[in-house]
Structure 1
């Protein structure tokens, strides 16, 4: 077999092991080291270790020299260097800080106050509780970036309230599932930080580029919720006084000041300090983590148990991301060294695709990968395969990254592997069936495809803010 054929076999074995359920990070490292030993094997370097046997004698010396020759392979140097590179990456330093901010906010009892306040403030709007749930999901998802946490917590808080208000279970479920995924796209998004580390694109330009597409998607969601509530009032009846009481204007303003504005101010402060160059993403993330602790303290929700849980979950998730990077870097280095990247590049070139056709093909592949894989695995492992092909088609990696972030919304909403639906089903009342949740997310899935079409038709929606703030 030729080296490129071995590289393709390496990729095929990885995909097979992933579907068999092997841990992805350690599978990447094992395959990278195993095939890398073959790729970087130098018989001369190994057997030169035996030359010293002419000077030294003895069984122990022979064994030690054999082991020295066995480990005299550059794949081990590569693995150590890649590990050090990941652990010293300044962009990735922001990941644990943003995660810690999200986990602290999640446990600070902010979300229940926020949802109650927004439900009262919007009670005269069509689909008022749905609008309140969607805005709460957007804010909470932006603050945490953790889809499972947002969907689960909002399912516990908002879903029973909407069902009690006689909302259609499908409509209510779709709102929570779709709103919970918005943190993947809307800054400060952890996914965009990971993409920046994998692609080398400036994180501040990514954040600026994601703002308008994120707002467009939220606008489409809100338009659907309000429009359907007007056309079909039975799916979202107006709440009664018992379900959502009316309060005096002064009290409502105080409720907004104590629930909506603190979290919104924290997010805007973190995001604004990054976009306007007042702080690096890592420094802004540190400010956000401190702000999350202060919010929890002000809400009297900062206990040692909650703090310990937040630290534990932060460390666990950060370790997963970092080891995925180590495995991916090792795997991709060996894959490229064997010529696999060149084979893929030649194959794509032979298809004679237009830039639009290439984008559609790439997004279709990422859409399908979203069924069995998490977004972190797609960004760290598979997106780097597409990155070297972008210059061939004249595609800006900034535009490609935002498009991927928008596409990854679908991986959580597309049956039969819609993870948002399974998160919600795990805590929903027994009368809410999984098929109802699947039916509820389909209109929101259509909104995502409409947002992607808008990006294809008007790509300046991505570039206008980065160019305005930072120049071309």
Structure 2
């Protein structure tokens, strides 16, 4: 049996075993070592040590636990409740105001956490029952909660973009800049859809009672000043420091983690128990991410050394595709993989298969990463995996069926596909901001760098490319 054939058998076996429900990280490691031993002999054990050390020594991944800790602290600081109430009062006069306030809260909270499960669960406990009590159609309320909670995959500081940057050897700073406008734009499209639907079909999203739509301006401003503004300032400081080159993502994440603790202290909601829970959850989530990364790194390295990448590359070249057709093919495959698999498996296992082909088709890896992040919104919203739907079902009232949640998510999947089409037609939506900040002579990103020399915004350390 030739090595490339062994590599393709390994890839097919992985998909089969994952569908059986085995743990992903250890499955990746075991299959990488097993097939690597068949094809490479005892050298695969040297590979295990080398790749594990490479992952643990990668400075880019330092930001992962810091951003996760920042999110868990903010989650436990009872900020979300204040923020939702304030945005609800501010949008009270709009059709579908509760849904719009939910999406706005999700977008801002996703920027602060990047943890999809936490945002969907919290909004499922807070906003979803409020929409049901107001007479909203359960499918619309479910779709709004799930779609809004998934924005953390795309909107910086996205953990997914950090992992993609480390996998592809691309600057996380540029990825954040490229994803900012598409992320905000997707949130705006969600709100526009709700506004139009609530206007055309008011029965699906009834207006609030008059007494709840006539809150005094002073009360609204006070509510925003004590909820929206502090969180927005913290997020602005973190993202601004990254985008303008004042700090690396790791340094900005450390600043955000410290700021989240300070914010929790100011709200008088930080207790030793909550702090201990945040540290424990951060350690658990980080360990999961790192072991996934190690397993994926070993698996893809063995797959590449067995010649699997060359098989895929030759097969794609034989199709004689244009760059646009290749992008469409890659995204259709990723979209279909999102049905049975989670985004971590897709990013760490299947995206690296496409990376060597980007140079052949002259596709910007930054643009490709943003399109993948946009596409992965669907992996949380489409069955049978659809983790956002399961998160919501876990906290929803018993009478809300899982099928209703799935149906409510479908229109938002359509909006994601429309947003991807817009990004294909107008790639400048993603490429303009990083180009303006870092490519123009005298631009903001060119003037500012980390003090004490040697590490600018374009010099993020990256993992070695897969061979």
Aligned to 1:31: 31
Could you tell me which of 145, 149, 159 is aligned with 1:190? 159
Q: How many Å apart are 1:351 and its aligned residue? A: 1.2
Q: Secondary structure at the match of 1:294?
A: helix
| Partner Cα distance (2:187, 2:213) in 1 | 27
Matches within 5 A, 1:136-285: 136-241=105-210, 244=212, 246-285=214-253
Q: Secondary structure at the match of 1:92?
A: helix
| Residue 293 (1) aligns with residue 251 (2) | no
| Partner Cα distance (2:194, 2:236) in 1 | 25
Decide whether the 8 Å contact of 2:93 with 2:213 is kept in 1.
Answer: no
Q: How many Å apart are 1:245 and its aligned residue? A: 6.4
Decide whether the 8 Å contact of 2:342 with 2:385 is kept in 1.
Answer: no
Once the two structures are overlaid, the 10-residue window that deviates more, 147-156 or 159-168, is 159-168
Q: 1:417 to 1:24 in 2, by over 3 A?
A: closer
| Residue 5 (1) aligns with residue 5 (2) | yes
Decide whether the 8 Å contact of 2:341 with 2:385 is kept in 1.
Answer: no
Decide whether the 8 Å contact of 2:156 with 2:176 is kept in 1.
Answer: yes
Q: Point out where structure 2 has 5 or more consecutive residues left out of the alignment.
A: 441-467
Matches within 5 A, 1:329-408: 329-408=297-376
| Residue 128 (1) aligns with residue 128 (2) | no
Q: TM-score, normalised by structure 2?
A: 0.92
| Partner Cα distance (2:305, 2:135) in 1 | 60
User: Structure 1, residues 283-302: CA drift from partner, whole Å, max 9, x if none?
Assistant: 00001101111111111111
| Residue 75 (1) aligns with residue 50 (2) | no
Could you tell me which of 431, 434, 442 is aligned with 1:463? 431
Q: How many Å apart are 1:175 and its aligned residue? A: 0.8
Matches within 5 A, 1:422-433: 422-433=390-401
| Partner Cα distance (2:288, 2:12) in 1 | 23
Q: How many Å apart are 1:40 and its aligned residue? A: 2.8
Q: How many Å apart are 1:330 and its aligned residue? A: 1.3
Q: Secondary structure at the match of 1:310?
A: helix
Matches within 5 A, 1:407-422: 407-422=375-390
| Partner Cα distance (1:156, 1:75) in 2 | 47
Q: How many Å apart are 1:445 and its aligned residue? A: 1.2
| Residue 101 (1) aligns with residue 70 (2) | yes
Number of residue pairs matched? Answer: 440
Q: How many Å apart are 1:225 and its aligned residue? A: 0.8
User: Structure 1, residues 371-403: CA drift from partner, whole Å, max 9, x if none?
Assistant: 222211211111101100111111111111000
| Partner Cα distance (2:403, 2:6) in 1 | 43
Q: Point out where structure 1 has 5 or more consecutive residues left out of the alignment.
A: 42-72
User: Structure 1, residues 126-150: CA drift from partner, whole Å, max 9, x if none?
Assistant: 1111111110011111211111111
CA RMSD of aligned residues (A): 1.3
| Partner Cα distance (1:234, 1:469) in 2 | 46
Which has more radius of gyration?
1
User: Structure 1, residues 436-457: CA drift from partner, whole Å, max 9, x if none?
Assistant: 2222212111110110000011
Aligned to 1:89: 58
